Amino acid sequence: MSIFGATPRRELVAWSVLGALLLIDMVTCVLTDAGSAVGDTLFAGTVNNAFYLLPGVLVAVRARRTRGPTRPAWLFLAAGMLAYAAGNLYWTLFVADLDPEPLVTPADPMWLAFYPCFATALVLLLRYRLPRVSAPAWFDGVIAAGAVSALVSLPVLHAVDPAPGSTMLGVVVNAAYPLSDIAVAGCLLGAWALSGWRADRVLILLIAGMGLFATADAISMVLLWQAVDVPASLGMMWTLGLTLLALAAHQPSKGVTARKPSMLVSTAIPSALAFLCLTLLSYAAFTTHEVAPVSSALAVTAVAAAIVRMMLSVRGAEALGTARRQARTDELTGLANRRCFVEHLDAKLAARGETELAVAFVDLDRFKEVNDSFGHDVGDSLLRMVGERLRESIEPPVMLARLGGDEFGLVMPGMGTTEAAAVVDQVLRTLREPFALREVDLHVDASIGIAICPADGDDRSTLLRRADVAMYTAKTGHGGPVFATGLDDQAKARLTMLEELRAGLGRDELVLHYQPKVTVEPVPRVHGVEALVRWQHPERGLIYPDTFLYTAESADLMGRITALVLELAIRQAREWHAEGLEISVAVNLSVSDLRDPGFPDQIAELLHRYALPTSALELEVTESVLMTDAEQALSVLGALRAMGIRLAVDDYGTGYSSLSYLQKLPVDDLKLDRAFVSRCATDERSAAIVQSTVQLAHSLGMRIVAEGVEDSEIFARLQEYGCDLAQGYGILRPQSAAVVTDWLRSQTSAMAA
């Protein structure tokens, strides 16, 4: 990229002229120092003054073209450079030929005006390019400015020796030049420090240009104070410095990218400067040589800033260490977090060599029930206790981490199947000891999935994925820890089915089949139907709910499925009622439905939309659903019952079968599971259970519905026991709405006959 940026043609011509003038000036200076009189000619003076003027003009043009926040900076720099050029012109026209040359002339205020203008421009430029500067950077600036100023002041102030007969004004004016040089040198290095010691093109050009300018100025002043002729070649440093300043002004305008300098640079440079200042102070203290008070004061300032900077660095290092620990530590349990877990696993995989390595995921079972039943505070307390107990039971080299929620992770370097199984067995034994919480003593179990490297994969992503698959399998199987080997196909099938189910919900692939419920009488009559969901898969055909509902529940899809089933069932009930078939439709509810306080309103809205009475809908829940979150379930069921909707406990006898819950539940029916009903004609124990359950339901004011009625013999037994309703394959298998509608019509016709 061009160092001039996007420069108009006229400015390029001006730069070409400046280059030519620089070449002519250099040749003139060399010839003059070689004894030629060419430097005293009018041509040489004209070239020299033109050269001093042109850089200032170029900076002024840059300022005029600039509309951004850097414009004031370039205006001040242009003003200083033009003032310097004016001073040089005045000196050429009115002072150069005087003998002796006066110590103070009108050119001096013009020359001296350059320094405050440059300082102002530098400050304005830094304010734009460095809108925010950290405290360490400020102290680096003080160190750099103080140290460089102290070191530069040594030769400059040491050489200052006013000539006899000098006036006070002459001493002050001529001393202003070296003092300005000292200040400029400090400002330049301080600015570099503030920018984080970055190699920014504008700042480097300013430092280089002003550095050359100030060096030439200082050397010139020292030579003048010592009554030594100043060589003409020294002028090349001034002219080259002015050229670099003009180049800095013509760089593209942009802020400095906020990035940290390298640790070596940001530490080494301030340390070296502080060491030089200490050396200077030691030299002044332990030798007989005198050091100017100004130099000593500047050195002390730099050393003091270095001490404070070191204290800030120590505090920053401590804060950084704390932040890094916190970034890798779980706030709740104090264990390593997921980030630390991943970093540790990567490190152990890299250093594994030929040895095995095991990774395990530990997921607490039914932890959500704890949060829902007792609150998140109790859940957090349980997690802290679990973390503390696991930490005490697990020894190195096993690494334990909390990965989030109720999931923990183990990295077991150097361990294969046998060793990993021993570790997770210890984890399970540790967790099964009761945890004493303030509300209740809880027993905790966990599902654990384990992957072994290299058998199950030799990279982090594969191992974690397979351990997660194994953990999911352990959670669904409830058979202890599960190793990942061979489970990939199951996981892929599950994920594939889940994605297909999501798509199927959007394409209305779920359909309802209906199974009638009839009264248990010598002449049965249809009481209602139960809606049973099926998935009409476009490739695999009709899929039954036990294949996909558990996966849907784990993926939080049951809310959508229940809403769809209710819509289809109530719409079909509306069609039957319109045809004169005024029967009720029963729909099964899930855990997520009973956790939704707005669920009763959803039911009310559906019934209102289809203009159906509440008697047209019955809702069924299983015992296990009720036990998940009893308080919320009772609240929702109570609201539904208050609306006039009949409620039933489905699959009674296969869940918790808590009589105390039957006492509290606002339900109307008990549906006895087919496992007992289907054997009541052949098994005395099953018959006794059916008979006693019928009596229990009636004593509680409930109806009893027998599922699994396969033949007339079972139906006769149910009549004998006093059962109220029955359903099963012996009456009618679940069928589509069209088939069930024809069946209902035939039953109605038979009853009418």
* CB proximity list for 372: less than 8 A, separation 6 or greater: 595, 628, 629, 632
pLDDT, position 346? 92
Tokens of 130: 């460095």
Tokens of 490: 């199951």
pLDDT, position 150? 67
| pLDDT digit string, tens, across residues 457-504 | 889 988 998 888 888 878 776 556 888 765 555 656 776 787 888 888
pLDDT, position 256? 47
Greater confidence, 340 or 134? 340
| pLDDT digit string, tens, across residues 539-549 | 889 998 888 88
DSSP string over 205-252? HHHHHHHHHHHHHHHHHHHHHTT-PPPGGGHHHHHHHHHHHHHHHTSP
Q: Please compute the mean of the pLDDT values over residues 505-520 and round it to a whole number.
A: 92
Give the rounded distance of the alpha carbon of 709 from its chain centre.
Answer: 58
Bridge-based pairing state of the strands 526-537 and 541-543: antiparallel
In Å, how far are 525, 549, 615 from 528, measured between CA atoms?
Answer: 9, 24, 10
CA end-to-end distance (rounded Å), the chain: 100
Q: Please compute the mean of the pLDDT values over residues 90-100 and round it to a whole number.
A: 78
pLDDT, position 129? 64
Residue 568 has pLDDT above 90, yes or no: yes
Q: How big is the chain by its Cα radius of gyration, in Å? A: 46
Alpha-carbon distance of 157 to 607, in angstroms, equals 99
Residue 736 has pLDDT above 90, yes or no: yes
**Where are any strands of DSSP class E within 385-509?**
399-404, 407-413, 435-436, 441-442, 446-453, 482-483
Percent of the chain residues topping a pLDDT of 90? 24
Q: Please compute the mean of the pLDDT values over residues 23-41 and round it to a whole number.
A: 67
pLDDT, position 576? 94
pLDDT, position 478? 54
pLDDT, position 197? 63
Average pLDDT over the chain reads 79
- Is residue 470 within 8 Å of 450, Cβ to Cβ? yes
Alpha-carbon distance of 142 to 130, in angstroms, equals 16
For residue 487, give the amino acid letter: L
pTM exceeds 0.85 for this model = no
Give the least confident one: 42-46, 242-246, 458-462, 527-531.
42-46
Residue 275 has pLDDT above 50, yes or no: yes
Q: Please compute the mean of the pLDDT values over residues 150-172 and round it to a whole number.
A: 59
Bridge-based pairing state of the strands 435-436 and 526-537: unpaired
